[in-house]
Amino acid sequence: MKEGFRQSMAWLHTWSGLVVGWILFAVFVTGTLSYFRPEISQWMRPELRDAHAEPGAVARVIPTLQQRAPDAQRWFIQPPTSREPVVRVSWTNSVADQANGRPRIERGNFDATTGAELQVRDTRGGEFLYRFHFELSMQPIWGRWVVGFCAMFMLVALISGVITHKKIFKDFFTFRPRKGQRSWLDAHNAIGVLALPYHLLITYTGLITLMFMYMPWGVTANYGSDTQTFFAEALDFAPEAAPANQPGTLTRLEPLLSAAARRWEGASPALITVHHPGDVNSRVELRRDHQDRLSHATQALVFEGVSGKLISAAGAEPAAAQTRNVLYGLHIANFSSPGLRWLFALSGLAGMLMVASGLVLWSVKRAPTFARTGRIPFGYRLVEILNIGVITGLPIAIAAYFWANRLLPAGLPERSTWEIRAFFLAWVLSLAAALFQPARTAWRTQFTFAAVLFASLPLLNALTTDAHLGITLAQGNWVYAGFDLTMFGLGAGFALIAWHAARAPKKAAKPRKTRAEPLMARAEAEQA
């Protein structure tokens, strides 16, 4: 601390951002895409192009479920919405999966008008990107711990960055293009300040979403390992009834849905769970949709499956739980309208650019020193390769994921797994290309490749499906048309970046140090 508090904060800001910056970039990218998870999932199932949400859809699905899965332990039914116009159903069979010994889960999509099961391609859709956002395709517990660890570093980097920039608002209005290191620092400052409230909000609330995993001591001190009892008491859930192993006839669900609408001021359930549907001890649990509420509080009604009698109504929460649920709701933004959702997405884009510019700035600041000595340290080259492989490789991997969705045969076994493999294969190849190419060439070629992949995706869609712009624009189907147009926009954006990367660098004059120079630039130069 002998260099001064703010200089120490500059050092902390630099290294806390660099150590986890590549993971944070991936979290920001996939998290931003998760705002459009239903739309991405629908585009990746072009067979649903003409599907429409209809009232009474749940009742139409029940007879099919009674034929398909009469002995299932549970039915999970998601009613159609404007963003997902089909009935999504999954059920757990009594036969255990040989891979993990747990009940095997099967899934289906059902037509909201007829109740018939729809034949759609096997894909994880936007769900894969959403899960990657906080699990990184690792084992759930390990992935969540890694992302939480990185989120804590992100919070440290944000706070230390605010402390370091004494003239933070002046930095926001300062940008000097074509000035090398100075331009990168100006861009990093401006983008960071532009969406600073969002960055603080999304980082802190991200930690809140998994607070019981990161800080379980209050629960374990009072409940030990019996966490289910804690959640049942905290959320006022009725305990699950064991099956009586006697046949029972499931009651009609329409009266239960009507009763829920009366209690929830017209809101609909987002999830209907039928426990032991063919048993006399069956239960029907309705969980309220969050699209009209800021809070992510779980309001649930539990009915007897045979008689339809209301057993419990959860939702009366103490103040601490309400606070946590509002923060949770702010993070996932299910309450947002389309316009607000795009504003969240643009703020997420600012987060990507902030992290990416910070990572590149670290390399740009040190490049002149190593150029003079003619020696490139291993650590510098490693950061350079990771910058290229992550900042350009992740968009390429996402584009490859979408391409695989259109190119893989519809009947391919484990098709959704092969889509994910295409994602990781493209990412690994991007990292390999960065390893064997000069940095400037790698930046240019990989951004160009990303531009080609995204811009040509609507053309591939037109060649392989009937859900292309020629049809969807005429129908006013903005889920499919909007996706294709967004891909054109991304392609144009990456093409612009590739063009800029291909331009010959202009040697910038050495900036004159003034009292207004941000302290971070001086502190980082001393650390080089």
Is 118 a residue whose pLDDT tops 80?
yes
Q: Encode pLDDT of 201-226 as tens digits.
A: 999 999 999 888 888 888 888 888 78
pTM, two decimal places:
0.87
Helix, strand, coil percentages in the chain from 3-state DSSP, rounded to 5:
60, 10, 30
Say how many C-beta atoms besides its own lie within 10 A of residue 203's C-beta. Answer: 23
Is 152 a residue whose pLDDT tops 70?
yes
Kindly tell me the number of DSSP H helices and DSSP E strands found in the chain. 21, 8
Question: Pairing mode, if any, of strands 269-275 and 283-288?
Answer: antiparallel
Per mean pLDDT, which range of 303-317, 340-354, 440-454 is the poorest?
303-317
179 band by pLDDT with thresholds 50, 70 and 90: low
Instruction: State mean pLDDT over 151-177.
Output: 78
The mean of the pLDDT values for the chain is 86
- Crossing angle (nearest 10°) for helices 181-194 and 519-527: 130
Q: What pLDDT does residue 95 have?
A: 56
Q: What pLDDT does residue 519 have?
A: 46
Closest CA to 279 of 71, 63, 67, 95: 71
Is 505 a residue whose pLDDT tops 80?
no
324 band by pLDDT with thresholds 50, 70 and 90: confident
Closest CA to 363 of 174, 193, 524: 524
Strand order in the sheet with 300-304: 117-118, 103-110, 87-96, 74-78, 269-275, 283-288, 300-304, 310-314
Question: What does the alpha-carbon distance between residue 399 and residue 432 come to, in Å, rounded to a whole number?
Answer: 18
Question: What does the alpha-carbon distance between residue 426 and residue 99 come to, in Å, rounded to a whole number?
Answer: 27
Q: Encode pLDDT of 352-386 as tens digits.
A: 999 998 998 888 888 777 777 777 888 889 999 99
Q: Encode pLDDT of 22-79 as tens digits.
A: 999 999 999 999 999 999 999 999 999 888 888 888 989 999 888 888 888 899 999 9
Question: What does the alpha-carbon distance between residue 396 and residue 67 come to, in Å, rounded to a whole number?
Answer: 43
Question: Pairing mode, if any, of strands 103-110 and 87-96?
Answer: antiparallel
Q: Encode pLDDT of 365-374 as tens digits.
A: 887 777 777 7
516 band by pLDDT with thresholds 50, 70 and 90: very low
Residues near 479 by beta carbon (within 8 Å), at least 6 away in sequence: 39, 42, 43, 83
Q: Encode pLDDT of 433-486 as tens digits.
A: 999 999 889 999 999 999 999 999 999 999 999 999 999 999 999 999 999 999
Is 299 a residue whose pLDDT tops 90?
no
Is 134 a residue whose pLDDT tops 80?
yes
